[in-house]
Amino acid sequence: MSSNAAATTRDGAASPEPEPKPEEDREPKPVPTLTVDALTVRFSGLVALDNVSFTVAPGTIHALIGPNGAGKSTCFNVVSGVYRATAGAVRYAGKDLTRLAPHRIARLAVARTFQNIVLTHGTVADNLMLGRHSLTRAGFTSTALRLPQAVREQRRHRERAAEIADFLGLGPAFDKPVGSLAYGDRKRVEMARALCMEPKLLLLDEPVAGMHPTERVAMAETIAKVRDALGISILIVEHDMGLIMRIADSVTVLDFGRLIADGTPERVQRDPAVISAYLGTPAQDEGTQP
């Protein structure tokens, strides 16, 4: 299917050795299943997630929806290792992600974007190359001395990053500072940086929030294309119901940190609990997120 299996191979070898293997050694492996199992997160007494379980099947787009404060972002932060879970587990590729530091999770080819754009300073290329961090291994010495393998590695990965930038329509902006880009473009740089990690599991936190309608349509197509072309799993948090219903293969609905529905978009849409908790809200809140 693909060689993005980077992660799965690495994952077997990840524990004993700190540095990731060079990508040449990788063999294609199937996309693993993500299982969130009875996850509970408490912040000083406040329950953000309460015993939530769901499964993201390989190669699907799985949406996580719910009103503001439902616990969606918390869930993302636990899966990507930014927050620690109070109880429960997140199983992926034979590991419990709740026990791993974020950079170890990144080496399992789990990539994420942020609701508020979090880019580093520098050019689009710099940001995308940061996404290649786990896939490359040039260290301080070889980089400082410009040893041939470091130079070669950088060139090779820059080509791939440029390819991904082109895919997201960022080709002309590749060498521009991210600070000079428009909002929608920066949002796409986030997406491109995540894709640069050659993920098997992509976590998208409100990828179209604040975008123009035309940009939204384009981004929705891009997301669907990523799934179809790369066969990877995508977990997406989004307030744009139209977009979710169009591209999601399955939907999990959270409310007040609890899971209230789980299933296909059609089924969830008809669920009375969901309607009362969430879908009663008109889609006006789209775009209110910064």
Partner 1 sequence: MSDTLSPDASPATTAATPPDGSGGASGRRSGTASRAGTAAAGVLLLLALPFYVSSFWLQTGLFAMAAIVGAIGLNLLSGTTGQLSLGHAFFLAVGAYGYVWLAGDPSGTGSAQLYGLGLPPLLAFVLAILLAGAAGGLFSPISGRLRGMYLGIATLALVFLGHHIMLNARDITGGFNGRSVPALEIFGFSFSDTSPDGLAVLGVPFGGLERLWYFGLVLVAVAWLAARNLLRGRPGRALAAVRDSEVAAAVMGVPLSRYRASAFIVSSMYAGAAGALLALVFKRVVPDHFGLLLSIDYLAMIVIGGLGSVGGAAAGAVFVALMPHLLTKYADHLPLLSAPGTTGSGVTPGDAARYLYGAAIVLVLVFAPGGLAGLAQKRPRRTGDGTRRNRRFPFRTRTTSDSNPQGVEGTTPKEHTP
Partner 2 sequence: MIKLAETILNGLALGSVYALIALGFVVIFKASGVMNFAHGSLLLFGGYVMARLHDSIGFIPAVLAGAALAAALAGLVQLLATRGLRGAEIHTLTILTIGVDVLLSTELNRRVGADFLSMGDPWGADVTQFGGITVADARIASIAVAVVVISGFFAAFRWTRWGLSMRSAAADPEAAALMGIRLDRVRLIAWCVAGALAAVAAVFLAAFPAAGLDRTTSQIALSAFPAAILGGMDSAAGALVGSLVIGLTAAMAAGYQSELSVLGSGFADVAPYLVMVLVLLVRPTGLFGSKELTRV
Q: Does 131 bind partner 2 (CB under 8 A)?
A: no
Q: With respect to partner 2, which residue has the nearer C-beta, 110 or 260?
A: 110
Residue 34 contacts residue 59 (beta carbons within 8 Å): no
| Residue 28 neighbours by CB under 8 Å, 6+ apart | 1, 2, 3, 4, 5
**Which is closer to partner 1, CB of 92 or CB of 114?**
114
Cα–Cα nearest to 244, from 214, 219, 265: 265
Instruction: Identify which range of 30-38, 85-93, 263-271, 281-289 contacts partner 1 by CB under 8 A.
Output: 281-289
Q: Choose the one of partner 2, partner 1, none that binds residue 2, judging by a C-beta under 5 to 8 angstroms depending on kind.
A: partner 1
Name the residue among 56, 57, 39 with its Cα closest to residue 48: 39
Cβ distance to partner 2 smaller for residue 106 or 223: 106
157 binds, among partner 1, partner 2, none (CB under 5 to 8 A by kind): partner 1
Q: How far is the CB of 241 from partner 2 (least distance, A)?
A: 29
The span of 30-38, 56-64, 143-151, 264-272 binding partner 1 (CB under 8 A) equals 143-151
Applying CB under 8 A, among 57, 144, 273, 283 the residue interacting with partner 1 is 144
Least spacing, CB of residue 159 vs partner 1, in Å: 4
Q: How far is it, in rounded angstroms, from Cα 282 to Cα 173?
A: 36
Nearer of residues 84 and 212 to partner 2, judged by Cβ: 84
Q: What are phi and psi of 128, to 5 degrees?
A: -65, -40
Fill in the amino acid letter for 256.
Answer: F
Least distance to partner 1, CB of residue 88, Å: 16
**Cα–Cα nearest to 6, from 97, 101, 133:** 133
The tokens for 57 are: 């099947």
Contact between 203 and 235 (Cβ < 8 Å): yes
CA dihedral 174, 181, 219, 1 (to 10 degrees): 20
| Residue located via tokens 């008109």 | 282
Q: Is 1 an interacting residue with respect to partner 1 (CB under 8 A)?
A: yes
Does the footprint of partner 1 cover residue 146 (CB under 8 A)? Answer: yes
Using CB under 8 A as the binding rule, whether residue 55 contacts partner 1 is answered as: no
Nearer to partner 2, 47 or 217 (CB): 47
Long-range CB contact pairs, 270-276, < 8 A, 24+: none
Selected binder of partner 1 within 61, 63, 85, 164 (CB under 8 A)? 164
Residues that bind partner 2 (CB under 8 A): 81-84, 101-102
